């Protein structure tokens, strides 16, 4: 299972492709893609968003569902989804309570 991710152009923030082609700031809100064709469709939506100056560096990444919640598979993506492990006061994890 995959999700599509990128960084937002203006502030570099990590975003994932959500429903209705909206870029969301939480991996838990991302739209999941199963299978080659679905992923290709997601990447093409990403490419269009890149062209529209919304995001940069679009790629697909592996996720699983744990307790009904989307969780990135690789550590790198888990860190991207939360923020630096050395700085819990910064990044998305700092806003986790309100999310």
Interface with other proteins by CB under 8 A: which residues? 7, 9-14, 50-53, 56-57, 73-76, 79-80, 83-87, 90-91
Question: Which C-beta is closer to other proteins: that of 22 or that of 73?
Answer: 73
Confirm if 46 and 39 have CB atoms less than 8 A apart.
Answer: no
Question: Which C-beta is closer to other proteins: that of 53 or that of 98?
Answer: 53
Confirm if 5 and 80 have CB atoms less than 8 A apart.
Answer: yes
Residues with Cβ < 8 Å from 65, sequence gap 6 or more?
A: 1, 71
Question: Which C-beta is closer to other proteins: that of 38 or that of 43?
Answer: 43
């Amino acid at each position: 299972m995959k999700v599509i991710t990128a960084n937002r152009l203006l502030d570099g923030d990590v975003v994932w492709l959500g429903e209705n082609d909206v870029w969301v700031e939480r991996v838990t809100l991302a739209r999941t893609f199963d299978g080659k064709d679905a992923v290709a469709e997601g990447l093409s939506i990403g490419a269009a968003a890149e062209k529209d100056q919304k995001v940069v560096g679009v790629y697909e990444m592996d996720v699983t569902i744990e307790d009904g919640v989307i969780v990135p598979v690789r550590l790198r993506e888990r860190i991207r989804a939360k923020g630096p492990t050395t700085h819990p006061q910064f990044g998305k994890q700092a806003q986790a309570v309100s999310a």
